[in-house]
A = this chain, B = another copy of it.
């Protein structure tokens, strides 16, 4: 099915939820989000998109590793030397990745096991206790789907969910919010059957709408401050998609010119 421009609304509001507590392993994120919506006097509505920072997903899943408990392999030690990084951290990066794409002083660009191309497998050393690091969630699509289902059951609203992270890019400085996992909404809009004003086929044929929403929400979350890891985005007429997956946003290796 192709999308038309009806997806583009005239007005959108975004709200960062206040009062999400520091997340511990085993915490129920849907409950924390539901509670925060109540305390923020912001009842969820159908078609809201809830953007959740990966960090709290990872923490709720206990994806925190103590570097002193990691035994680096020979490859990790060698790459650590080449990149001037901690060998234990490099081991975790390798464990979390399908392949190394580039490496340079201080940075290793990999294809994460879930397909994202990113620096250091998305492993975060900030906002963890000293000596610990935070891995990306086990399966962000599954987490997003679970959150969407649970929020529907508990709050009564059919919402989309995006698990997001701040990710660096080729060619441009600075991170932007991008999608790690998605549920309930079509992440990539296909405009290939849409005609422009002069009845020509559109040149831009696919829009990464989930990444645009993740970027928007990221600007409200800020960095490092865990007080605002959840943003409610209201007004997008996102296309429902029961089988949404971040995989739609990941370019296949054969079509990728920058591996």
Closest to A123 in B: B203
A189 interface contact, C-beta 8 A: yes
Instruction: Choose from B102, B202, B211 the contact partner of A223 (Cβ within 8 Å).
Output: B202
**Complex interface: chain B residues within 8 A of A116 (CB):** 171
- B8 near A228 (CB under 8 angstroms)? yes
Among B15, B175, B215, contact of A206 (Cβ-Cβ < 8 Å): B175
By beta carbon, the residue of chain B nearest A188 is B174
Interface size on A, as a range, is 35 or more
Other-chain residue from B12, B104, B166 in contact with A204 (beta carbon distance below 8 A):
B166
- A173 interface contact, C-beta 8 A: yes
Q: Evaluate contact between B174 and A223: CB separation under 8 angstroms.
A: no
**Contact call A176/B258, Cβ cutoff below 8 A:** no
Residue contact B8 to A198, C-beta cutoff 8 Å: no
Q: Are B15 and A13 in contact (CB under 8 A)?
A: no
Copies of this protein chain in the complex: 2
Complex CA gap A11/B127 in Å reads: 24
Q: From A232, which residue of chain B is reached at the shortest CB distance?
A: B11
Selected interface stretch from A30-38, A74-82, A140-148, A249-257: A249-257
> Can you list, as one digit per residue, whether each of A205-231 has a CB less than 8 Å from chain B (1) or not (0)?
011110111011011111111101000
Q: Does A177 contact B (CB under 8 A)?
A: yes
Distance to closest chain B CB from A128 (angstroms)? 7
Q: Report whether A102 and B258 are in contact in the complex, using a CB–CB cutoff of 8 Å.
A: yes
A37 to chain B minimum Cβ distance, whole angstroms, is 14
Q: Are B221 and A8 in contact (CB under 8 A)?
A: yes
In chain A, positions 142-188 with a C-beta closer than 8 Å to chain B are 166, 169-178, 188
Can you name 6 A-B residue pairings with CB atoms under 8 Å?
Answer: A5-B222, A5-B224, A117-B170, A127-B197, A171-B250, A174-B211
A126-B203, A173-B188, A174-B209 given; name 10 further pairs at CB < 8 Å. A5-B222, A7-B222, A9-B16, A14-B216, A124-B203, A166-B207, A170-B258, A171-B256, A194-B224, A202-B223
